[in-house]
Amino acid sequence: MKQQVRIEKYIGDITTLSRKVIKQKLKQKAIKVNGILITELIKINPEKDIVELDGSKLEYNKFQYYMFNKPAGFITANNDWYSSTIFDILGLKRDKFFAFGRLDKDTEGLLIISNDGKMCHTLLSPKNHVPKKYLVRVDKKLDSEVLNKNLPIKINDEFTVENYLFEKINDKTCYITIYEGKFHQVKKMFATQGCSVLYLKRIQFGKLQLDPNLKLGSIRKLTEEEIKLMQEK
């Protein structure tokens, strides 16, 4: 038999709500257990009791997956002594969740946040070559023959980008899809062609696209369809 747990912990583990917000929900009469409104924090049996929040039934899943539209100005880390991290604004427990991969401090866009270490390892494994698509704006005209023909780009003596997809939007804006995740890779690729990246936003990870309705700095749970899409090769 599963041990009883405090309802605020149960709700907090399933949602992104803090203990303070859960208490507010309690005062607002927004929490039911087995169809009965509760007025105080109680213990429940997750295997037997049915918990509803704002009229919706809560279901516990061991692994949770979120889409986050990262704003610039935050580093992709759980903790840092010197800089603000994404977990300062996520509303998730930084000791239980982590990001799938990283985005630079000044880069915006799609990050997957989860507690599923196995899936994270699979998606980030270099042998799987999971595509990552970015929207890029640079300071100079994109007239490089190398980029327009998707020719190999030598970053340094140890690394050459062999596989990528360049899609020009206008003279200074493009999409680029890469299949590795080297440090500052996109910026370095454009630097070899005489361009500085002014704006960088990840819009796709694998087959999962950034929700255009998800505001910058916002987070939401992935749907079942999106989770399946993320797992597809």
Phi then psi for 161, rounded to 5 degrees? -85, 110
In which residue are the tokens 């692994």 written? Answer: 63
Candidates 49, 104, 106, 211; catalytic one = 104
Please tell me whether residue 23 adopts helix, strand or coil conformation: helix
Distance, CA of 56 to CA of 17 (rounded, Å) = 15
Q: What is the DSSP letter of 85?
A: B
Interacting residues of 46 by C-beta distance below 8 A, sequence separation 6+ = 2, 5, 10, 60
CB 78 within 8 A of CB 95: yes
Active site residue 104: yes
Q: Which residues pair with 44 in a beta bridge?
A: 5
Catalytic positions are 104
